[in-house]
A and B are shown apart, each in its own frame.
Chain A
């Protein structure tokens, strides 16, 4: 077994920092605490950390400034802890180099899940990160995987649920392949999902309503008799340089 990931937790508020550190240790992480940005900087000079959990609003140097510094100086991933929940934060956070963010008060289990996701992603080779897909394009439609949204051929945002987004993402990643319900469930929602097969049919029909011109005779998401479903369109991967 490899060494436990080492988290540097930076928050000026001990009432949150201490129980959170305790909880994370309980979840199998090694945790070092810092009360402000200056302390964090000095800790980072001496030790190597796997990931930073960073509060945005701190007296002295704030979290955004430290985040920018870390993103520019090192490869250490950063998850921001923020009190604001507006969509803007996501964009700002990602633009200044943060890998993800959680909104206070967060579900600690969700925080752990995010930490694991970010660590998995960071473990990949730099080349893999370089090639990371920013989105997909099919038949004029654009699936933006960074902002997690679907844009129609006329440029209008088409709101879809998270489940529909995941399903469409699976279709884009496996364009041209026929996927049965089990495969779709696994790929879209993971093995732990407690979903019935019927739920997939339901999501497919909702998705068709949004992307098909006529959902009685689907042109994009086709049903294959006895097999399952397939995305019958030419799919183009968009790298970071392609996204407008």
Chain B
């Protein structure tokens, strides 16, 4: 799993919240970028204005024949930092190719200067790094002037070629984008998060709760197969979904009930003639013939019972009650021992689990019966594992080909060699046992037991059931 997949929440509420938070963050970043840009434009306007004023003033002076710098300016001219704002007149351009040009400044000045009648041939604007002293001075100036948002790292150098070919240049400090804007954006984002996310969390949790109710209802239906309408809640989509589910579960439940009635009728209609036959068999004088007929009737009855049980599983209304599982296994082991079978049961502490007693008894009889029937003997052990109990039944039989094992759980599947009534069984035993295990929230698995050299020593069946 990639990091992204791991960070991506799995629940609806989580995904919704994360998506909205991310979208909000992107929006705020865009907003911040726009604001920084606007501030930069503003700074450029200021630089352009100052440069224009000084260039116009210098041009005026030069035209009036006055010196570029006033003499009585002296003191101020010597003041620290003032020279960073100096205006120069030189025969060549001070701009060198390694300096970074600022085209937007050129564009602005090209707009301003002609309106004030300043003649020029060419104008160039570049950024130069401000000497450290300039920063200190600007900071001082900022404190004196009460402006706190200026941080000077760069100076703009604007050079203008006059009509006589000489270059007039001015240096103007460029204000940095202030850190305050970032703080503003962060504060804004946090505020937005609070304003939007709190109701969003509330809303998504409400939706999640409605969905949770629906999910629980579905799980409940899956378990009991009894339709219990879920109270629709939440947004209309969810209400519609809940209604549809209610209708569907009611329909399925009705179908299942119909099936039960039908099976009951089939059971009755087949068992009544069987009962008639069973009564008539009593008048057969030949003892051997009679016992064979009785055995056949018993076989038919057993198969019929297995089919009906499989169809009715989970719908008998038998409630789970605490059962001493170890005593139950012991009782079944004793039953097989009384029939002369080899059944071993390892000692085990008392384990009580909520079980549908007659069903689990049936599942265990089927699995243990298979072990003694096909595997010569059954060795049973019961072990508690956290919140479950595992009943392991080992036999010493030939095992089952690995690719055939899952097929053993399909109805009417039997190993070919044993497909006759002499070994008993209907081919429904394992199907029924697994269905019963699932009905209890447990599982039934089969696997070959192998010796160290890989030869099959027998089959192992494990029935797992939840405890409490």
Contact = CB atoms under 8 A, between A and B. Distances in A.
Given A206-B334, A209-B330, A156 B272 contact: no
A13 B213 CA distance: 50
Interface stretch (B14-22, B216-224, B320-328): B320-328
Contact of A108 (B282, B322, B335): B282
A84 B264 contact: yes
A16 B358 contact: no
A105 B322 CA distance: 32
Chain B contact residues (Cβ within 8 angstroms of A): what range? 35 or more
A157 B264 contact: no
Contact of A156 (B268, B294, B316, B352): B352
B322 A156 contact: yes
B301 interface: yes
Contact of B318 (A11, A88, A158): A88
B335 A83 contact: no
Interface string A22-62: 01000000000000000000000000000000010100000
Interface in B264-288: 264-265, 267-268, 271-280, 282-283
Interface in B237-276: 264-265, 267-268, 271-276
A159 B264 CA distance: 28
Interface in A106-127: 106-109
Nearest to A27: B282
A158 B272 contact: no
A105 B297 contact: yes
Nearest to A106: B275
A156 B323 contact: yes
Nearest to B347: A209
B324 A16 contact: no
B357 interface: yes
A105 B280 CA distance: 11
A174 interface: no
Chain A contact residues (Cβ within 8 angstroms of B): what range? 20 to 34
B268 A159 contact: no
A152 interface: yes
B282 A13 contact: no
Contacts of B271: 83, 104-105
Interface string B294-331: 10010001000100000000001110011110011011
Interface string A150-193: 00101111111100000000000000000000000000000000
B330 A106 contact: no
B49 to A, nearest CB: 93
Interface of B: 264-265, 267-268, 271-280, 282-283, 294, 297, 301, 305, 316-318, 321-324, 327-328, 330-331, 334-335, 352, 357-358, 361
What are the 8 A-B residue pairs with the smallest beta carbon separation, nearest first?
A: A105-B275, A16-B276, A104-B275, A83-B268, A105-B274, A156-B322, A105-B278, A104-B271
22 contacts: A16-B273, A16-B279, A20-B275, A57-B264, A83-B264, A87-B357, A104-B268, A104-B275, A105-B275, A105-B278, A105-B297, A108-B278, A154-B352, A156-B324, A156-B352, A157-B324, A157-B357, A158-B327, A159-B323, A159-B357, A161-B335, A206-B334
Given A156-B323, A160-B331, A206-B330, 13 more contacts: A15-B272, A15-B273, A16-B273, A16-B276, A19-B279, A86-B316, A86-B358, A88-B316, A105-B271, A157-B323, A159-B323, A159-B331, A210-B330
Interface of A: 11, 13, 15-16, 19-20, 23, 55, 57, 81, 83-88, 104-109, 152, 154-161, 206, 209-210
